[in-house]
Amino acid sequence: IDGICAEKEGAHLRWFIISDVLRGRGIGNRLIKEALNFCRNKGYRRVYLWTFEGLNAAKHLYEKSGFELVEQNKGIQWGTEVNEQRFELRFE
């Protein structure tokens, strides 16, 4: 979790990756819950992350955790054109 610009932009959840062989065991749910609890305890008012269109398991996890899609941009990653998506969660 990158909190360097948290006051202005929110905490940045970076590189949230679960191995394919570990999916379906609740590990992603537990990790994201811990990350969000950390952010709340630090007083961050929002959390955001970037992902790519087509990563449906990740999108489902983020939306189930309260994140909303707020931005999309075409980009190039690893030599391939992708649709980058920014998801954000605001704490009340």
Mean pLDDT of successive 10-residue segments in the chain (92 residues)? 72 87 91 95 93 92 97 91 96 86
Dihedral Cα 31, 34, 40, 45, nearest 10 deg: 0
The verdict on residue 20 lying in a domain is yes
Q: pLDDT value at position 52? A: 93
* Residue 39: per-residue pLDDT: 93
Chain Cα centroid distance, residue 10:
12
CA angle 45, 7, 89 (to 5 degrees): 30
The pLDDT score that the predictor gives to residue 46 is 94
Has residue 3 been placed in a domain? no
Using CA atoms, how far apart are residues 5 and 9, in angstroms rounded to an integer?
6
Question: Which pLDDT score is estimated for 15?
Answer: 82
Is residue 50 one of the residues assigned to a domain?
Answer: yes
The enclosing domain of 59 has a CATH number of 3.40.630.30
Q: How many domains are there within the chain?
A: 1
d(CA 84, CA 49): 10
Per-residue pLDDT at 6: 67
Is 4 among the domain residues? no
Report yes or no on 31 lying in a domain: yes
Domain extent, residue 69, equals 11-90
